[in-house]
């Protein structure tokens, strides 16, 4: 390709600033400012949705002193870790299949595996309600087979949240793992076998190390989306199984205590930033478009 | 055509340099192209050929030097005001436009009336033998056809100059040979001054009025194809063009009136060669001899007077149909090749002791240092073939 | 390789089939329930009827669907308009602060949408504008969360342009503007369309942002369904869920006719 150097000149820098100025300003005002405000709101006292200028740590103290809130925070991270693990593990075999298959329906199969992304989480969680409810499909089957006497309330529960989120986030895991697996030369596995390694040795010594960044990336991606998910915990968790996201909603929209909401929001942003740093470090994620 | 004017040169580059970061892509490049002349920039990849074209076309601003097109300065003029047609290696045809739209684009942006565009595009397509294909999309064409569209597109607006960036490298051998003739025919017919860039020496020899051999951003030699082949100015050119036997040695007798010097090789044998430089006794030089100008005979056969004779052992024989390459090892281990057209008329075998011979007039003694002989003045002069003999 | 390992491949196929079932069954169950004749949301349905679909298409719900459509289409269009110069600047030019700008553009994708939602709510509240903004508040938020999708998809297109085309156009006499209009825009059209579609889907399926910015009269369909779920899982909501799944599917089907969406999904993920 021919090199064109006028794109680095002073005039070109001016052109590029003109290009990006308006959209960048838009994002500064409506993305950076709100998030900054949220972070600062967490360390100021507020009365009746009005911030005072009084600096305080009491929002965090309050959040961390009530067992109900602490349990919600702990539950959020347990759910996040479980969902991350399940998504990474379940998406690996199907991704491997989708990358290596020679089926002429390959494109269609990939499309179907990603299609759930077209549906809102609300839609995807509704089906689980019908299946898991006390008077739902699974209970009907179990009772019909006389395997249980009394109907079981599978939901609302923390397990329900994990199931619903795993289901909702699986396509992200598949996308991430397909990307990781596509870059692995299939002949490496053949070569390993020709050198005398059996399938398990091949998997452990060749495939696993190469796909590890993809696995870690899908774990962290699912983790970070899980901890700030609202709809699934709200539908399948209920009041007894609150998470940070549902607590925030309660504080902001129902109790109207914005400072506590902001403190919990800060916890979410902070955790997400930590996860991001980890995924840049270990998941092969890059700051690129 | 329109390049006539008062200027004797269509394009003059004077001391053009271009740097990427701290490395020089081209360095103090001087090049003059006469009206209607076809000049080839020949060199290995990374020698600065494409950078030179980019600078001429206006995509890169040179870090120093002067450029004149028909006497008018080019530096600072944006590409779209230069009136220089370019054919790219990958053709860079607009995939969303038909063949006719592609060819007519240069006229359309010049606001030529539609009727005239149609007429000139039609003429141009006829000239490149694509009449009737104007409605096709580029992706529906063969490689050779795309090449012709790219040529037509670069020529239709009657450019003052034409730049061709390895336009043949994406074609298969047979098509490439056909397109060579085609491009030269078009260039002659339109008499548009042209710089053609290639790394393929055969292309360069077959097509050019003059060849400029480039290495590491510098011109090593400029001359007609014959001069470049017969009278390489230095070791780089000798090695880069064609195949060449290179024998290192020391001058034991400086060139006399006949221009021939005598060079002692590693063993006690000597070889005569035309001196390309003022070599005194004791100078280290390198004698270059083309394989097809060197012969092999049995040790007991006599060779015409004046030829240099060297003992050698046949190491292997490569049969190539129309010719054969006899690979030989000289005492001391140097390998040389003799290329023989047709069959050898005697029983030659691997391992046999033979006599390797070459006419001193066909050999040149070059400075042993790789690279130019440090004298940039020789660059712009025709290689001094006459003064040596 | 298949012929070397036929048996493990069979096991893999079983695992893959189970995974597909896991992914698709809840969605299919939802669709099935929407055709239930009974009044409870049960599977298998107790007889078939279209009564819940009729209810879902009544004025109360169809206005929410149209509201969502209006919101998401506008957000997709405006985020594409903002993303085009951004992507162009980021792909084509080197300038001071470029890295920071990339982070700014990807920010809404990297940080929790929930937090952006709360933050925007606070900004609009404290400037006293929220009450009068209504649709505007939602629209701004949706544009913010859509911009990363549009910028990425358009960047894929720009990066995929055949090399030398612009140099060729310039050598033929085209100015910067002519090159943009004659060459670049027609060739990245697919990327613009795909980016707008991804933005539309992202906006249409969003819950976490709309949750905080929606009002009683300005509720996207997802938030409205979520609100009604508190009162029970009526089959009407199943029908609505099915409708809100069908709309993005139609979008994909239309765009897929002219654009290979897979190209953009892949290129996008490879860089993620």
Residues in chain B: 389
Chain A: closest CA distance from residue C210 (Å): 11
Query: CB of B51 within 8 Å of any CB in chain A?
Result: yes
- Chain A residues with CB under 8 Å of C118 CB are 34, 38, 248, 252, 261-262, 265
Q: Kindly state whether residue A209 falls inside one of the protein's structural domains.
A: yes
C151: Cβ contacts below 8 Å, ≥ 6 apart: A289, C83, C86, C87, C90, C105, C195
Q: Do residues B262 and B314 touch, judged by C-beta distance below 8 A?
A: no
Domain C62-271, second-level architecture: Orthogonal Bundle (1.10)
**How far does chain B reach from its first CA to its final CA, in angstroms?**
39
**Residue C250, pLDDT score:** 92
Q: What is the C-alpha to C-alpha distance for residues B235 and B216, in angstroms, rounded to an integer?
A: 14
**What was the pLDDT predicted at C212?**
92
Low-confidence residues of chain B: pLDDT under 50: 1-5, 371-389
Are A268 and C118 in contact by the 8 Å Cβ rule? The answer is: no
- pLDDT, position C176: 83
Domains, chain B, in order of start with CATH, read 11-230 (3.40.50.300), 244-369 (2.40.50.140)
Q: Nearest by CB to A35, which of C119, C212, C272?
A: C119
| pLDDT given at position B185 | 93
Helix axes C235-256, C261-271, angle to 10 degrees: 100
Domain containing A163 — which CATH number? 1.10.3720.10
Place of tokens 């269609």: A108
- Rounded to whole angstroms, how far apart are CA atoms B372 and B236? 8
* Across A52-56, A177-181, B194-198, B259-263, least confident range: A52-56
Q: CB of C186 within 8 Å of any CB in chain B?
A: yes
Q: How do residues B32-84 score in pLDDT, each as one tens digit?
A: 999 999 999 999 888 888 899 999 998 888 998 999 999 999 888 888 889 99
Q: Is residue A95 part of a domain?
A: yes
Considering only the beta carbons, identify the residue of C22, C94, C272 that sits closest to A8.
Answer: C94
Please give chain C's pLDDT, 272 residues, in tens: 444 445 667 888 899 999 999 999 988 888 888 888 877 777 787 788 888 899 888 888 899 999 999 999 999 999 999 999 999 889 888 888 888 999 999 999 989 999 999 999 989 988 888 777 889 999 999 999 999 999 999 999 998 888 889 889 999 999 888 998 999 999 999 999 999 999 999 999 999 999 999 988 889 999 998 888 877 778 888 888 888 889 999 999 888 888 888 777 765 443 33
Q: How far is CA C261 from the centre of its chain?
A: 13
Residue A19 lies in a domain: no
Supply the pLDDT for residue A6.
55
Q: With contact defined as beta carbons under 8 Å apart, do A174 and A222 qualify?
A: no
CA angle (B295 as vertex; B294, B298 as ends), nearest 5 = 155
User: What is the extent of the structural domain holding A114?
Assistant: 63-282
Touching partners of B (3+ C-beta pairs < 8 Å): A, C
Query: Which structure tokens are listed for B106?
Result: 């240069």
Phi–psi pair at C42, nearest 5 degrees: -130, 155
Q: How far is CA C207 from CA A219, A228, C133, C139, C203, in A?
A: 22, 11, 19, 14, 9
Alpha carbon dihedral B282, B285, B291, B293, in 10-degree steps, equals -60
| Count of positions (residues) in chain C | 272
**Contact assessment for residue A132 and residue A154, using Cβ atoms and an 8 Å cutoff:** yes
The ranges assigned to domains in chain C are 62-271
How many domains would you assign to chain A? 1
pLDDT of residue A80: 95
In chain A the first and final C-alpha atoms are separated, in Å, by 22
3-state secondary structure of B194: strand
Instruction: Give the chain A residue nearest C163 (alpha carbons).
Output: A1
For every residue of B73-107, DSSP letters joined together read E-TT--GGGS-EEEE-TT----TTS-HHHHHHHHH
> Is the omega angle on the peptide bond into residue A156 within 30 degrees of 0, that is, cis?
yes
Strands (E), chain A: 44-47, 50-55
- d(CA B261, nearest CA chain A) in Å: 46
- Considering only CA atoms, which of B215, B213, B243 is closest in space to residue B227? B213
């Amino acid at each position: 390709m021919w090199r064109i150097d006028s794109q680095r000149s002073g005039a070109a820098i001016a052109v590029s600033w003109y290009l990006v100025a308006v959209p960048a300003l838009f994002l500064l005002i409506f993305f950076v400012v709100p998030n900054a405000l949220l972070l600062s709101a967490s360390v100021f006292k507020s009365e009746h949705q009005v911030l005072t200028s009084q600096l305080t740590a009491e929002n965090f103290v309050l959040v961390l002193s009530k067992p109900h809130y602490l349990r919600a925070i702990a539950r959020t991270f347990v759910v996040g870790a479980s969902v991350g693990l399940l998504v990474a593990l379940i998406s690996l075999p199907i991704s491997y299949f989708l990358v290596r298959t020679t089926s002429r329906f390959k494109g269609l199969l990939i499309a179907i595996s990603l299609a759930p992304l077209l549906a809102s989480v609300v839609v995807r969680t509704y089906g689980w309600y019908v299946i898991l409810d006390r008077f739902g499909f699974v209970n009907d089957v179990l009772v019909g087979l006389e395997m249980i006497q009394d109907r079981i309330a599978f939901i609302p529960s923390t397990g329900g949240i994990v199931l619903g989120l795993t289901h909702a986030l699986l396509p992200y895991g598949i996308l991430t793992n397909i990307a990781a697996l596509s870059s692995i030369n299939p002949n490496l596995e053949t070569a390993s076998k020709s050198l005398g390694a059996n399938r398990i040795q091949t998997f452990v010594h060749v495939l696993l190390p190469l796909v590890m960044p993809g696995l870690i990336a899908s774990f962290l991606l699912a983790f970070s989306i899980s901890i700030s998910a609202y709809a699934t915990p709200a539908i399948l968790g209920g009041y007894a199984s609150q998470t940070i996201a549902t607590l925030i909603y309660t504080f902001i929209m129902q109790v109207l205590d914005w400072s506590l909401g902001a403190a919990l929001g800060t916890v979410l942003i902070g955790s997400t930033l930590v996860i991001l740093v980890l995924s840049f470090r270990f998941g092969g994620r890059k700051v690129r478009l | 055509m329109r390049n006539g004017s008062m200027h004797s040169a269509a394009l003059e580059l004077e001391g053009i340099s271009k740097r990427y970061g701290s490395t020089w892509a081209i360095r103090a490049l001087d090049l003059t192209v006469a009206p209607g002349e076809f000049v080839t920039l020949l060199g290995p990849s990374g020698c600065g050929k494409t950078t030179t074209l980019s600078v001429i076309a206006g995509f890169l601003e040179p870090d120093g030097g002067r450029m004149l097109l028909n006497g008018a300065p080019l530096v600072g003029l944006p590409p779209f005001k230069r009136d220089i047609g370019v054919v790219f290696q990958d053709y860079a045809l607009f995939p969303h436009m038909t063949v006719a739209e592609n060819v007519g684009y240069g006229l359309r942006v010049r606001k030529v009336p539609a009727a005239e565009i149609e007429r000139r595009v039609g003429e141009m397509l006829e000239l490149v033998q694509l009449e009737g294909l104007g409605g096709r999309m580029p992706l529906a064409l063969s490689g050779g056809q795309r090449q012709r569209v790219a040529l037509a597109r670069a020529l239709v607006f009657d450019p003052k100059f034409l730049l061709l960036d390895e336009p043949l490298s994406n074609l298969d051998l047979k098509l490439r040979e056909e397109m060579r003739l085609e491009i030269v025919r078009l260039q002659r017919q339109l008499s548009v001054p042209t710089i053609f860039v290639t790394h393929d020496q055969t292309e360069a020899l077959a097509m050019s009025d003059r060849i400029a051999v480039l290495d590491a951003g510098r011109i090593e030699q400029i001359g007609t194809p014959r001069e470049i082949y017969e009278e390489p100015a230095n070791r780089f050119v000798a090695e880069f063009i064609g195949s060449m036997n290179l024998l290192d040695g020391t001058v034991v007798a400086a060139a006399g009136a006949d221009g021939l010097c005598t060079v002692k090789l590693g063993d006690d044998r000597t070889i005569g060669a035309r001196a390309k430089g003022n070599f005194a006794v004791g100078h280290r030089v390198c004698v270059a001899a083309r394989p097809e100008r060197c012969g092999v005979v049995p040790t007991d056969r006599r060779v015409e007077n004046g030829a240099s004779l060297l003992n050698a052992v046949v190491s292997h024989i490569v049969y190539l149909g129309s010719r054969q390459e006899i690979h030989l090892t000289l005492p001391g281990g140097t390998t040389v090749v003799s290329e023989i057209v047709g069959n050898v008329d005697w029983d030659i075998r691997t391992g046999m002791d033979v006599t390797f011979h070459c006419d001193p007039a066909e050999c040149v003694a070059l400075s042993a240092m790789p690279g130019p002989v440090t004298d940039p003045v020789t660059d712009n002069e025709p290689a001094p073939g006459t003064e040596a003999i | 390789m298949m012929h070397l390992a036929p048996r493990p491949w069979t096991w893999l196929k079983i695992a893959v089939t189970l995974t597909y079932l896991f992914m698709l069954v809840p969605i299919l169950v939802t669709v099935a329930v929407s055709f239930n004749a009974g009044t409870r949301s049960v599977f298998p349905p107790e007889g078939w009827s279209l009564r819940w679909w009729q209810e879902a298409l009544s004025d109360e719900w169809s206005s929410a669907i149209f509201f969502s459509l209006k919101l998401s289409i506008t957000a997709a269009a405006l985020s594409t308009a903002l993303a085009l110069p951004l992507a162009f600047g980021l792909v084509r030019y080197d300038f001071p602060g470029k890295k920071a700008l990339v982070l700014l553009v990807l920010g809404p994708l990297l940080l929790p949408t929930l937090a952006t939602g709360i933050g925007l709510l606070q900004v609009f509240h404290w400037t006293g504008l929220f009450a009068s903004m209504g649709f505007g508040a939602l629209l701004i938020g949706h544009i913010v969360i859509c911009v990363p999708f549009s910028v990425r998809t358009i960047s894929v297109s720009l990066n995929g342009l055949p090399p030398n085309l612009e140099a060729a156009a310039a050598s033929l006499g085209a100015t910067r503007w002519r090159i943009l209009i004659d060459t670049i825009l027609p060739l990245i059209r697919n990327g613009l369309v795909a980016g707008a579609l991804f933005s539309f889907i992202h906006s249409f399926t969003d819950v976490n942002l709309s949750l905080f910015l929606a009002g009683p009269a300005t509720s996207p369909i997802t938030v409205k369904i979520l609100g009604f779920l508190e009162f029970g899982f009526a089959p009407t909501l199943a029908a609505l869920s099915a409708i809100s799944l069908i709309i993005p599917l139609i979008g994909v089907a239309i765009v897929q006719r002219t654009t290979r969406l897979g190209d953009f999904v892949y290129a996008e993920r490879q860089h993620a």
